[in-house]
Structure 1
Amino acid sequence: MVAYSIFLNFVEVFTLTAFVYLYYSFSSRKQFCLLLTSLFLICELCDILRENGIILMLGYFITSYLFVLYEKKTIYSGDIFILGGYVFLLFTYPYLSYCLFGNILDTPYAYVYYICAGITSKLFLILVTCWLLEHLKFTFHVPNKQYFLVIITEIVVLSIFGIIGYAAVDVTVSYNPILVCSLLLAVFILIIINGIYFNMVYTEKMQYEKQLQKEKYIKQSLRLIQNISYDIDDKKHRIHWILEHIKHLNNDTNPKISKAIKQYQSKNTYQKLVASKNPVFDILISVKINRLQDDNISIKPFFEISQNEKYDDLDFIDVISEILNYVKRNSEITLHIKGQGIYTLVELYSENDFYDYDRCKIESDLIVKKKNIYKDGIYYMKFLLKGTDDDVRENL
């Protein structure tokens, strides 16, 4: 029976080695022989010490995964999951064989049980391994961070099943109740932690989805408002030139007509609209410019920016609005916004001193650098918004 036991152990170890070698695509036969020898020595040592349960399972798993880790050079949760599942299945076949042939143990032909159970369990192992190698050809992706707790929980659960299975097969095997209770308590705690963690992940995902939907609806609304604004502005522009034509035809022959036209034109100033193809930026900056225009601040917009989501960011737009808040009344300035890679240069300039430099105390993480200069009869106020390319700062 000793030779028969060694034969069964060799079949078990050889099948496990073949699975690891073929599934994880080992490139060297020396690795196959070294893994086979290592696993077989662990198996025989556990047989001698009568540690054929959880200790042997962990020995198989740890040794096999060390070889996988040496081959791949990187830890993948998917590899741990598949190898752990396979090792657990390897230890379920003796229990299945016990369920099939357990009644023979109570008869004088107990040796028949060992022969039938041993051959059946190893036959199950070989057939399932062949099936897995044929069908389990895909790469099993498991996000390391998200599912690490799940994998730990499954390993502990499988360890408990291994203990229970071997205790049922071999009545001489006994385990410390404290060990079993500790593992069950660990499973209970891990399940609670998993629940809390995945609830947090789900909540964050839902908040992110809601934010995306909110931004989508805001952009749609702003595009609609922008289109309406363009239409209204176009009509105001036409009315303006129609009144100019009427004023020209009237040629001050009727003072009341000229006065009425002048009053209407003074109340309905032609509005400026920004068109940079960034809908949120365009409509909000247009509103800001026209509000300043009501305060007798004439702003000529000049933008050199491409269509990019960063310009529609509300924090970015708020910084530009805050910059414009310190323009003095009755000023005429040019607002120049230029994209420079990951930087954005915001530049205001005018022939007259137009800015409250002392009052300008804008606090924003987006502002990298600011300064005011006077050059060639022109006053400048410049802001460089966030970026990482130091070469661009030299252009300020």
Structure 2
Amino acid sequence: MTNLVHMILNFIEAFAFPFFIANYFNIQNKRMFISIVFIIQFTILNIFHFQLTNDFILTIIIILSMIISIYLFTKQLTFNNIFITLLYNCFIYFAAFSVLFINKALTISFQFLFSLDIDFFLFSCFISRILLLLITFLLLRKKLNLSVSFDFKYWSYIIILEFLLLCSMGLIIYSLTINQINNMILMVILICLTLIFILFVLNLYHLNELNKNKIEFEKSQQLRKFELQQINALKNVKHEIDALNHRMFYIYYRMEYLLKTKRYEEAYQLLLSNRKYSSQYHIIVDTKNIVFDCLVSLKINDLIANGMDINLCIFISQSKFYNNLLFINSLLSLFDCLNTHSKLTVHITEKSCFTVIKIFCSDDIISQIDNIEKSILAMSKNYKLFYELDSSSLNHIKISLKRENFENEKDLFVNTE
């Protein structure tokens, strides 16, 4: 009778596993797959029950037989094939452990009702198989996506990690089932946990590398966006220049006609009415530092549009230092402090490992001295620098910043989305 019950339990487990795999992966010839794998696993389960007692080795053989069967029917072996196979074995262990826990709790709490006999153990096994069928049904019914899109070549250690976890769970459940544990089992569990820890650390390093690659990709995307912005800005400038050239050609042609016909008053009025076109031009900074060029050009032209006369002289190398938003924002905030002046002369050059910023104003900067020093103080939090103000007329600012690599590279580029 006991053997018959064990065969029924093995029948349920041997059927549930291939049934889940066939439907989850939508394998062709499902019936054939389920039938063949069922016969193989049912035979293995019965052999181990009647001849051997090592459930740990049984689990390994069951997993290998399933993986080989999947490969023979699908002609491929992917990360998901192995991952889902191992994951379903975790569900089997979960069902067994849940019932085992309930079994222990009931036998301890209600010893006067239950005895630790074989009948109660078989009853618990039936409950575990029903729980396994329920888990299988819910996973397939809800169509839960358990798959992960990993490349087996680079993520094979995840499979090893999952297998070691499965081995540890199997050994623990086996020890609880037979109600005894020896030094050999403890040693194997300890080895598994040690390997799991090592693989976990390797996984962290791998994830860190992926995160770095992601940051590099995002920065490249940001650079591409700024390049497109710069190209669009250049296109707009070209269109404006073409329109201005066309307009100026008409003005010169009209002016020549008015002067030839001695209509001087009309010529003078034409000159006055079109004087504004002579100031409609754009300054484009081109230092090969795309982010710096784009943002500084926009700021300079904005100041010019507000009536400021700016003389600009920039000689700097191509470097990540200048595309850093901390540097650019500091420079632009300095321009904002001086936006009340009618004329600025700006020199940005390099000297050794320092970037030297010189700004000459049309008049003194006494009224803006507080804001200027606040801006320089904020700049000093991110850079090693020293600065000086012209003590005679207070119309000259000189700042020297030391160019260094940035540890916090996430601040290098702005998000334009």
Q: Does 1:98 align with 2:106?
A: no
Q: 1:133 aligns with which of 140, 154, 162?
A: 140
| Structure 1 residue 239, shift from structure 2 partner | 2.4
Q: 1:81, 1:20 → 2: CA distance?
A: 11
Query: Kindly, what percent of the aligned residue pairs are identical?
Result: 20
Q: Give the aligned partner of residue 81 of structure 1.
A: 83
Contact 2:99 2:125 in 1 (8 A): yes
Q: Give the aligned partner of residue 183 of structure 1.
A: 192
| Structure 1 residue 179, shift from structure 2 partner | 2.3
| Structure 1 residue 34, shift from structure 2 partner | 2.1
Contact 1:104 1:110 in 2 (8 A): no
| Structure 1 residue 108, shift from structure 2 partner | 4.8
Q: Give the aligned partner of residue 2 of structure 1.
A: 3
1:146-165 matches, within 5 Å, as 147-165=155-173
What is the RMSD of the two structures over their aligned residues, measured on CA atoms?
3.3
1:10-89 matches, within 5 Å, as 10-26=11-27, 27=29, 29-47=31-49, 48-53=51-56, 55-89=57-91
Taking a change above 3 Å as real, the CA distance of residues 166 and 232 of structure 1, as seen in their structure-2 partners, is same
Contact 2:18 2:33 in 1 (8 A): no
Amino acid at match of 2:47: L
Q: Give the aligned partner of residue 222 of structure 2.
A: 213
Taking a change above 3 Å as real, the CA distance of residues 139 and 9 of structure 1, as seen in their structure-2 partners, is closer
Q: 2:17, 2:70 → 1: CA distance?
A: 13
Normalised by the length of structure 1, the TM-score is 0.57
Q: Which has the higher contact order (CA 8 A, sep 6+)?
A: 2
Give CA deviations for 1:278-324 in whole Å, capped at 9, x if unaligned: xx9xxxxxxxxxxxxxxxxxxxxxxxxxxxxxxxxxxxxxxxxxxxx
| Structure 1 residue 128, shift from structure 2 partner | 1.7
Q: Give the aligned partner of residue 143 of structure 1.
A: 150
Amino acid at match of 2:216: Q
| Structure 1 residue 245, shift from structure 2 partner | 5.2
Gaps of 5+ in 1: 254-267, 269-279, 281-396
Contact 1:104 1:113 in 2 (8 A): no
Q: Give the aligned partner of residue 383 of structure 2.
A: none
Taking a change above 3 Å as real, the CA distance of residues 109 and 140 of structure 1, as seen in their structure-2 partners, is closer
| Structure 1 residue 250, shift from structure 2 partner | 5.3
Q: 1:197 aligns with which of 188, 201, 206?
A: 206
Q: 1:215, 1:166 → 2: CA distance?
A: 58
- Partner secondary structure for residue 79 of structure 1: helix
Give CA deviations for 1:309-344 in whole Å, capped at 9, x if unaligned: xxxxxxxxxxxxxxxxxxxxxxxxxxxxxxxxxxxx
Amino acid at match of 1:3: L
Taking a change above 3 Å as real, the CA distance of residues 141 and 128 of structure 1, as seen in their structure-2 partners, is same
Taking a change above 3 Å as real, the CA distance of residues 28 and 210 of structure 1, as seen in their structure-2 partners, is closer
| Structure 1 residue 51, shift from structure 2 partner | 0.9
Amino acid at match of 2:172: I
1:1-396 matches, within 5 Å, as 1-26=2-27, 27=29, 29-47=31-49, 48-53=51-56, 55-102=57-104, 104=107, 108=115, 110-136=117-143, 140-145=147-152, 147-172=155-180, 174=182, 175-244=184-253, 246-247=255-256
Amino acid at match of 2:74: K
Contact 1:92 1:165 in 2 (8 A): no
| Structure 1 residue 197, shift from structure 2 partner | 0.9
Contact 1:39 1:60 in 2 (8 A): yes
Q: 1:108, 1:138 → 2: CA distance?
A: 42
| Structure 1 residue 130, shift from structure 2 partner | 1.8
Contact 1:13 1:40 in 2 (8 A): yes
| Structure 1 residue 28, shift from structure 2 partner | 5.4
Amino acid at match of 1:165: I
Q: 2:190, 2:237 → 1: CA distance?
A: 70
Q: 1:57, 1:10 → 2: CA distance?
A: 16
Taking a change above 3 Å as real, the CA distance of residues 99 and 221 of structure 1, as seen in their structure-2 partners, is same
Contact 1:167 1:173 in 2 (8 A): yes
| Structure 1 residue 147, shift from structure 2 partner | 4.5
Q: 2:249, 2:175 → 1: CA distance?
A: 95
Taking a change above 3 Å as real, the CA distance of residues 139 and 182 of structure 1, as seen in their structure-2 partners, is closer
Contact 2:98 2:128 in 1 (8 A): yes
| Structure 1 residue 208, shift from structure 2 partner | 1.0
| Structure 1 residue 162, shift from structure 2 partner | 1.9
Give CA deviations for 1:169-228 in whole Å, capped at 9, x if unaligned: 222464444422221121111111111111111111122112212221232133123212
Q: 1:34, 1:71 → 2: CA distance?
A: 11
Contact 1:104 1:112 in 2 (8 A): no
Q: Which moved more, 1:12-21 or 1:206-215?
A: 12-21
Taking a change above 3 Å as real, the CA distance of residues 242 and 183 of structure 1, as seen in their structure-2 partners, is same
Gaps of 5+ in 2: 263-277, 279-289, 291-417
